[in-house]
Structure 1
């Protein structure tokens, strides 16, 4: 039986995930829109043989740009530039189903998959913010409506990727036949949200379909992931919460005819590293002292849906807060639970959230961070991790230089890539075209 190995994704965010990263002397906030910065990060991650890099995205300038380095590059454009300087590492971008059209998204990801030789992945999100809705001149759709649209969106996109069979391109110059048009199919989709004729104006992607990733942890999000996703980025604070989420999500797969190994669960982890535990804790304290409270309050308001003033900093969250909202439901619940479980004041809460926005932050030596990774991996809470360095590029370089070798010593992580595509790295099969089975049946019937 083949040994089970970790999967590691590097989540690239500006000059670091800590909200005060731009103020730390080891970073250069002017590089926020410098493609060479991200190319350097991608090469570092590939040197460590990580599975993939990931770029988040939103469709509004959220957060207080007065107090943080915000406003980055559009991810699909940027990933094409990263594809040009790497050979193996997967390239995952966030694109919303709420304010895009399926044909655009299908074409862009097919293009990235071709450009990269089969390394594209799509992090599928439904846009939850009011500011995003207002940028498109509409009101924010209800939570259930966003996921209903997303389901149909995926149906259309995957049909478009399948609209060219794998061998549709003939390339017979002698006969003057470039493509077998009998193997290129209109999709003729007519649904509640979309009417799309097809076919796509690009050949089938090298991976068949780019990897499908999802990041919502609400009930609607988990059901959507169980039906569609092949990897899930998630946030849990405790091992028990991680185990419960993992078991819940994997347990939903059977009703969609899927196996547990067809979906990878990758919680976020922000490692603050030092050669000693004391050194790591000093770095954590340095970053904490750079936090601007008014910015932390604005971030907290985005997560929990209410605004608190500076007079609330040294008090607990209001007792009457509830987790239900039309916004990002799972993150709101996580933040409220964290504050109440650990008895945190608002000031302490924004300090805890500054490093990972609700994802786990672990400060310690490479061995201590590896211990945490191994514990979750071996105890049914994770198939790997979405690594969120607090400072970039230094935090990623240190993770690759010190934590990855420790994981290899424990037999948990690869020494080299086994294949070229993102699906190869994640151990996932290349899906056949939906037209292939029908063609096989037709050929069998006439033989």
Structure 2
């Protein structure tokens, strides 16, 4: 392999869609068809991730059924899933080291509630919480929160920046040693170590403090998924893990270099951000078996959900009136996922894909990289991007569950461990320790004296 001097450890996340990443993954033989509403299914996956030395499990989420085309939605298993923080609180009780990352939108939540929930999860899990900050891509989410339309894309990111400022300020509301629990003196906490936020900004006015001590990690690990320019800038400023999508190594290297370079203006070290593109893994005992699995998954994909899913990713534009064996039509700018739209349009034009080709590809990968082959082939492909500075690790997204993930843990991870790329035991207790991230010191706001 090239550039093998770059031998720091590969970071691994497990991107858990309830029944798999493929639109038709629930139809694959052996898939857990009710996975979205099965606690035991998630327990088994979380414990498998921990057995494989994964840094974290990652739960994507949206506060909406994924598409308004109910006939298309009815052909997928994506319409049912647990609320992620509730689920991760349960999984914290049956795991010890693997991190627990939940997706929560800054567009349709309030900072105090988010700060309190993640602080609670961090305490419940002994310091293993992570927050995947999103600004919400689906226009339909607005209609579940008393609005007719999304905020504009740029405004969603402005709100997100202030949201992070408030949430981290609330996490800093108590000094680490504020709580004394001193029965003899009768002092439960030291009032001098309470820091009132008193935030007044463009979008939020929040006094604070939280009614829970500072999280064990200081801040739960900050995770984002950003492809647009606004998304990259927010990640450079605030993210510690970045979930992204690139189809080729040159694309991945360019993205990696761009985001890391942006961090300088925020006085951040590039090593304080782990860029982890999604990777869909199709694993066979032979290459022919992997190819058969890919073909089987494609054969199970009905055009209605495939086209609806593609339409959502490119900005919620209706493609149903265009011929499936014709090219992707010209698209107007979107107020939804701008970076994902640009990525998919570039792929379609470069590879001269028809709509049918494109939705079959998207049904498999959602625009992420596909790696397919034997366990050793998979390990080779993952190592290639890592040693050539295309990533710091991966969010592994099996097309169906649980078998696709079990194969990765049982067959691929041992190859990566033999190469020294994946841990054989956890280095620390908290998610920050295992990712090699520093624990942020508490900032001071307005002190409240005992006399007050």
Question: How does the TM-score come out when normalised to structure 1?
Answer: 0.95
Note the alpha carbon deviations across 1:375-410, whole angstroms, 9 max, x for none. 100111100000001111111111011111111111
Q: How far apart are the structure 2 equivalents of 1:389 and 1:45? A: 12
Partner SS state of residue 365, structure 2: coil
Quote the residue 1:6 is aligned against.
10
Instruction: Please list, as runs of the form range in 1=range in 2, the aligned pairs for 1:270-419 lying within 5 A after superposition.
Output: 270-305=280-315, 306-309=317-320, 312-318=323-329, 320-321=330-331, 324-419=333-428
Q: What is the Cα deviation at residue 311 of structure 1?
A: 5.5
Change beyond 3 A, Cα 1:225–1:311: closer
Separation (CA, whole Å) in 2 of partners of 1:240 and 1:30: 39
- Structure 1 stretch displaced more, 131-140 or 234-243: 131-140
Mapped pair 1:212 → 2:222: yes
Asked if the contact 2:180–2:190 (Cα under 8 Å) also holds between the matched residues in 1, the reply is yes
C-alpha distance in 1 between matches for 2:303 and 2:386 = 35
- 3-state SS, counterpart of residue 208 of structure 1: coil
Give the corresponding residue for 2:101.
92
The Cα shift of 1:435 comes to 2.9
- Between the aligned partners of 1:367 and 1:122, the Cα distance in structure 2 is 33
Q: Counterpart of 1:15?
A: 19
Between stretches 20-29 and 227-236, larger displacement belongs to 20-29
Q: What residue is the counterpart of 2:62 in the other structure?
A: 58
SS at match of 2:34: helix
Q: How many angstroms does 1:3 deviate by?
A: 4.9
Are the structure 2 counterparts of residues 220 and 2 from structure 1 closer, same or farther at C-alpha, using a change threshold of 3 Å? closer
- 8 Å CA contact 2:119, 2:212 repeated in 1: yes
Matched, 1:259 2:269: yes
Q: Partners in 2 of 1:264 and 1:174 — Cα distance?
A: 46
The alignment partner of 1:312 has SS state of: coil
Aligned equivalents of 1:311, 1:256: Cα separation in 2: 45
Tell me whether 118-127 or 136-145 shows the greater mean CA deviation.
136-145
Counterpart CA distance in 1 for 2:296 and 2:106 is 39
Residues 156-305 of structure 1: pairs in structure 2 closer than 5 A? 156-305=166-315
What does 1:111-150 correspond to in 2, within 5 Å? 111-138=120-147, 139-150=149-160
Q: 1:317 is paired with a residue of what secondary structure?
A: coil
Whether the aligned pair in 1 keeps the contact of 2:32 and 2:402 (CA below 8 Å) is: no
1:57 and 1:95 in contact (8 A); partners too? yes
- Asked whether 1:49 is paired with 2:59, we answer no
Distance in 1, Cα, partners of 2:361 & 2:241: 26
Matched, 1:420 2:429: yes
Tell me which stretches of 4 or more aligned residues in structure 1 moved more than 2 Å.
none
- Deviation larger for 274-283 or 126-135: 126-135
Residues 6 and 387, structure 2, Cα contact 8 Å, conserved in 1:
no
Structure 2 distance, partners of 1:307, 1:238, is: 28
> Unpaired segments of 5 or more residues in structure 2?
448-452
* Residue 32 (structure 1) aligns with: 36
Determine the C-alpha separation between the residues in 1 that align with 2:356 and 2:343: 17
**Structure 1 Cα separation of the partners of residues 192 and 245 of structure 2:** 46
Structure 1, unmatched stretches of 5+, are: 440-447
Shift of the alpha carbon at 1:2?
A: 11
Check whether the contact 1:60–1:131 (CA below 8 A) recurs between aligned residues: yes
* CA distance in 2 between partners of 1:285 and 1:292 (Å): 14
C-alpha deviation, 1:308, in angstroms: 1.8
| Matched pairs, number | 436
TM-score, normalised with respect to structure 2: 0.94
Output the CA distance in 2 between the equivalents of 1:371 and 1:31.
31
Q: CA RMSD in A?
A: 1.5
Does structure 1 retain, via aligned residues, the 8 Å contact 2:162–2:203?
yes
Q: Measure how far apart 1:88 and its partner are.
A: 0.3
